[in-house]
Amino acid sequence: MPEDRIAVMEQVLHTISGPDDPLLSRFIAAQSAAGLPQQLSEIARVWRSEVPGMTGAGLALVLATVRSLPRPRPAQVSVSGPMNASMPARLTSGVAVEVIRSAKTSLLIASFAAHGARNVVTEIGRAVDRGVRVDLLLEESTQASVAFAALPDDVHVWHRVESSGVLHAKLIAADRHTALLGSANLTDRALSDNIELGVVLRDPHVVEPLIEHFHWLMAPANSIMRPA
């Protein structure tokens, strides 16, 4: 149920004595939003069966407590190339900078190729200046590390140990709370002109396992990634 609907219901509940109060029935019947009457009826059913002695004010307090708890922000789509005005998406170049800018302690960035992407490189440099640890996992065969040559020496660059495969992942992860996953490499064309698709995750429960996977890849004992 949308947060604004929950807030309205809290106000109404303060005037209701219990789950069988006619005021509650009338309130439910007056709702016109698709699916909302069914949601409210289900709340009333559970209220009646589980805690029939609870007052409306008591239930309002429960809803207010739940509403105050932090909730993960929904995933957000990012695209490169032509933009559909009716689609709620943002350009990959802007999203990449925003994610980097949100980092307070660590940045983990993976890309198969890199070229140009001056705004991204500049933002990484600013992150380093404010004390953020930066790990760049780059494909050595594409010479991607050249794009980041101007960054300070304390940026950690990683290449894959000799194998039959390549590092093809594309990821920008800030701390353990936000990650941009997608098809775009860190190149000017991929961030703006190519037809690319990505998604921004802002749920730490989803982002943390991604970070842990890459930390496992970088662990010296696993001989998968090596410092450049």
Range of the domain at 145: 73-227
Contacts of 141 (CB under 8 A, 6+ apart): 166
| Mean pLDDT score across all residues of the chain | 92
Distance between CA atoms of residues 136 and 172, nearest Å: 9
pLDDT in tens, 3-53: 677 788 899 999 999 999 999 999 999 987 767 788 889 989 999 999 999
Cα(187)–Cα(30) distance, rounded to whole angstroms?
A: 54
Quote the pLDDT of residue 60.
92
Distance CA 137, CA 144 (A): 9
Cα–Cα distance between 27 and 6 in angstroms, integer?
Answer: 13
Same domain flag for 20 and 90: no
Residues 53 and 87 in one domain: no
pTM, entire model = 0.70
Beta strands in 49-174 (DSSP E): 73-80, 89-91, 106-111, 114-115, 133-138, 156-160, 171-174
| Confidence band of 68 (pLDDT split at 50, 70, 90) | confident
Pair (200, 136) in one structural domain: yes
Q: What is the CATH number of the domain that holds 100?
A: 3.30.870.10
Q: Are residues 38 and 104 in the same domain?
A: no
Mean pLDDT of 136-156: 96
